[in-house]
Every structure is written in C-alpha cells, then in structure tokens.
Amino acid sequence: MSLSTQNVSSAFFSLIPEFAKAPLRDLLGKQHPYGLAISERRRLSGMPRFTNCQATFFGRSLKLCDPASFLSAHHEIFVERAYDFDADSRSPVILDVGANIGLASIFFLRRFASASIIAIESDPVICSVLRENVQTFGGNNVEVIHAAAWDANETLKFSADHADGGRIASDGTTQVKGIRLRDLIIEREIDLLKIDIEGAESRVLQDCADSLGKVQRVFVEFHSQSGCSQELSRLLQIFEMGGFRYHIQSAAGNVRSPFMTPVCHSEFDMQLNIFAYRAKLESTC
C-alpha cells in the first residue's frame, strides 16, 4: 500500500463511529487495538476451562492455561486499562506480584518499552508459561521469579488450579518457595507495586508497611475469606499511614441485596480492587 493510499485509508477510518471500528478491523484483517480479534475471542470463549491452548495476541502466539481467566484478565488489563499509569521516568520499575501468564507484564512492556519488571508467580505450571510469554513479547527487561510473595523466606504449601485461583493453603499439595516481598521492595524505588495473590495480600502488606515509602503506586486485589476475620480496615490503615490516597472498586460478587443473597466466590465473600497512590492533600475537586 502506497503512502497516499495509507493516508486515505486512515482518513476514512477516522470517520467511522467507534463502535463500528472493532468489527471492521476484524473484517479487514487489521490488527485489533486490544490485541485480540473478535473471532479469536469467540473461539476462546467456546473452549472448556483449564484447557492448554494458544491465542493470537497482537499478532503473536500467546500460551494460555485457561481461556476463561485469560479473557477476564484481558478485558480488565487491555480493554479497561485498569493498571495504566503515567510514569515519572522512561524506565519505570514495576513489581508484578501474582503475574499469572504475564498479561499485566506484557501490558507494561507495550506501555513502557524500557520498563524494568519483576514478575513473581507461585504456580509452577503457570510460571513456565509466564516465562515463555514474556520472552515472546520481548521481555528482556523482565525478571521472572518462581515463588510465592510472603512475609518470610520459607517453604509453603500451595493449592494450584493452573488458572487464576492458586493460593497458599494449609491443605495445599504443592510446595513452593516463599520469599519475603519486603526484601525486594527496600532494594529499589518502585513506580508500581501490583499484587494479586489470592488472600495473602493483607499478611504480606502488613510486613511491607514500613517499606512502602519507596513505592509510588500500589494496586492490590483484596480477598476476604469467608469464615475468617476481615482485614480491610488494617489494609486501608497501612495506606493511610503510608501517605497514600486510595480508590476502591468491586472486583467480584456485586449483588443487589447482599443481606438476602450472601456471596461467596472461591471461598471469598468479598473481593475488591484497591488503587493506592500518592497525591497532594489539597483538594482538586
């Protein structure tokens, strides 16, 4: 295609309503802005859970362990851009804790070409896929660590589901190395600390509380385990005492009448997305 033809094509495409652009890109074979063509999304949504497969993602082959959890994470990370931020430098430092198959790390690689990323994943099967995926997407600046973020360096029992629900559990049948996350934080200035570790976040962040001065932003998926004491107030206090402001969104289990319909997803009766960030105290509203 000549340059003039490209210009005409771009001008024509700019006139098309936004809602019609995605199916047209699919029809014309153009790369989808979210990396996943509609036809590919439909194909994956028809697959059973926990199926090992591959997806064509931004024109490359991405390995999956579970199509359903991939589609959910893809929507949150690439469509809603939940983790997006403006970095203070061209080479932001990012800790991707609970990296799963690497979607967040890939998002950051595409967003910040010179980012330095540490991706931590505890499930041994998923961690192997994570390593392959970040290499596929040029992750030479991504350090992958097979371990569970914890408040001590010790061996832990891990319950793996090879999707997005693996967690530290006393009845876990897999052993995994636990690493003290605080030790990683105090070694560097961190632009974003992203934590999704299925219920261990309160314990880990309480141990990290005195080191969060080196962190500019924290995303944490908070899990309240049914039958256990809720620790949301402790977590929010850590952020408040650390000089953060925060924004909270429901991550799962949003129902109209929670008094009438108790919600429990994978043993959790509440899941929240918490975005903590540093901001001046004076009002900007």
Write down the domain spans for the chain. Answer: 16-82
| Burial (CB count <10 Å: 0-12, 13-18, 19+), residue 74 | buried
Q: What is the pTM of this model?
A: 0.85
Rounded CA separation 206/49 (Å) = 34
Whole-number pLDDT of residue 100 = 96
Per-residue pLDDT of the chain (285 residues), as tens digits, is 434 434 545 566 667 777 776 666 554 444 577 999 888 999 999 999 999 999 999 999 999 999 999 999 999 999 999 999 999 899 999 999 999 999 999 999 999 999 999 999 999 999 999 999 999 999 888 999 999 999 999 999 998 888 887 888 888 888 999 999 999 999 999 999 999 998 899 999 999 999 999 999 999 999 888 778 888 999 999 999 999 999 999 887 667 787 787 677 667 788 899 999 998 655 555
Q: Determine which helix (DSSP H) or strand (DSSP E) holds 13, and give its type and residue range.
A: helix 3-14
Answer yes or no: are the C-beta atoms of 56 and 26 closer than 8 Å: no
Whole-number pLDDT of residue 4 = 43
Whole-number pLDDT of residue 167 = 83
